[in-house]
Amino acid sequence: MNPMNSILAATDFSAPARHAADRAARLAHETGAQLTLMHTVSGRALDELRQWLGAGHAAEAQLLEDAGQQLRKLAEELASTRRVKTQTHLATGPVVTEIEREADAVQASLVVLGARGAGFLRRLVLGTTSERLLKHTHRPVLVVKQTPHEPYRRVLVALDFSPWSVHAIALARRVAPNARLVLLHAFEVPFEGKLRVAGVDTATIEHYRRQAGALATQQLHHIAQQAGLAPGHWDARVIEGDPWQRIVEQEQECDCDLVVLGKHGRSAAEELFLGSVTRSVLTEGSGDVLVSMAGTA
């Protein structure tokens, strides 16, 4: 299991973004990772300012100075309260491009963002900015929705039995090394609707349902073994139904404070944040959401 070496937290100084920065600082303290706190002054905002006031106006320098002061102040607060050394980075330009560039520069093991924000962070989760970010990034992204009060206690890892599944478990253990894991797989009876239309009797369909559940349970235990989880140190949930509904349901029922989701295959990043499962969990779930690509853990 690779260590968590570097964490990048992007902030726009809104309250949700501050919660995300606090969570990033907690994780850095728990894992020994280097924390970088960054803020990006939108290139579009600067262009508009120059359009109105002209290039080189004192207001532009003051805007950057104010942003830098806010960034340094937040970093000092995190260093004091979370006992973690924090470096800062103030950027100007397209927000997603700058996040990617800084993540590459510090070789971030994790990028941390707030679920809501005053500007780009809101768009990051819900709009086209997220599409661009996750279309290109190969790094795990943690979307913080809760005010952090303690380390993650219970983590729900949603598995689809793809090669990504073992990576997802490894990533969950890196981000929440002391949490209990709940491994979830939501299954459906293949072609159930067509079977009913074709007149297949209920008993036969129920037989298929039991078979699908038993096979999924077997696969779940096999993946847990592959990931090196000790028996009795994790919980299994194999449930029939729509994946996102079951994820949200089990997140609440099992009192999980973090959900780990991922995707694999061609165009995985492009599909990931736009997919109905991830979008629905972000919208309907109450816990933080960690999104990963295959191979990043």
* DSSP letter, residue 13: S
d(CA 159, CA 277): 12
Tokens in use for 179? 């949490």
Alpha helices in the chain (DSSP H): 15-31, 43-53, 58-82, 95-105, 120-126, 128-136, 164-175, 192-197, 202-226, 243-253, 268-272, 276-284
User: How far is residue 281 from each of residues 16, 132, 246, 290, measured CA to CA in Å?
Assistant: 18, 20, 10, 11
d(CA 171, CA 255): 20
Taking only the tens place, the pLDDT of each residue in 34-51 is 999 999 887 566 556 555
* Mean pLDDT (whole number) for 261-272: 51
The region of weakest confidence among 85-89, 110-114, 188-192 is 188-192
The region of weakest confidence among 5-9, 101-105, 191-195 is 191-195
* 168 and 279 together in one domain: yes
Any idea how long the chain is? Answer: 297
* 93 and 186 together in one domain: no
Tokens in use for 7? 């964490």
Residue with more model confidence, 116 or 161: 161
- Which of the listed residues 113, 131, 146 is the one where a domain comes to its end? 146
- Which of the listed residues 86, 112, 146 is the one where a domain comes to its end? 146
pLDDT of residue 164: 83
* 176 and 278 together in one domain: yes
pLDDT of residue 263: 58
pLDDT of residue 78: 94
Residue with more model confidence, 178 or 206: 178
* Contact present, 40 and 96 (Cβ < 8 Å): no
d(CA 174, CA 179): 10
pLDDT at 135 over 70: no
Mean pLDDT of the chain, nearest integer: 82
Q: What CATH number is attached to the domain comprising 37?
A: 3.40.50.620
pLDDT of residue 190: 61
Taking only the tens place, the pLDDT of each residue in 70-95 is 999 999 999 999 999 899 999 988 88
User: How far is residue 148 from each of residues 17, 195, 291, 293, measured CA to CA in Å?
Assistant: 12, 47, 18, 25
Tokens in use for 151? 């380390």
Tokens in use for 240? 């029939």
d(CA 247, CA 239): 10
- Which of the listed residues 125, 146, 167 is the one where a domain comes to its end? 146
Taking only the tens place, the pLDDT of each residue in 212-253 is 899 999 999 999 999 999 988 899 999 988 889 999 999 999
* Contact present, 260 and 157 (Cβ < 8 Å): yes
Domain limits at 156?
A: 150-297
pLDDT of residue 121: 45
Three-class SS of residue 261?
strand
**Domain count along the chain:** 2
d(CA 96, CA 130): 8
* 81 and 217 together in one domain: no
